Amino acid sequence: MEWRICFIYAELKLTENLNECQYKTYILLKIINREVLHPICSDMSSYIMKNVAFWIVESHRQEIFREQNLMDV
């Protein structure tokens, strides 16, 4: 028998608790991955980008996540 730890419910809860700007940051990272990084390095996945987004949100003050700090897309 093989065991695997799954964090899907915790990840869903984290995603639900992102503010609008944090969620847009997450989406931007996924777009950057799909359009820029993945064609160059197929090892880059949306899973990695999701974890990068969670790490950024955890390691920075919430005040920096404002619309004026996002680039226009």
What are 21-63's pLDDT values in tens digits? 999 989 988 999 999 998 999 898 888 888 999 999 999 988 8
The rounded Cα 43 to chain-centroid distance in angstroms is 16
Per-residue pLDDT, 34? 93
d(CA 12, CA 37): 25
pLDDT interval class at 73 (50, 70, 90): very low
User: How would you label 23-53 residue by residue, b for 16+ Cβ within 10 Å and e otherwise?
Assistant: bebbeebeeebeeebeeeeeebeeeebbeeb
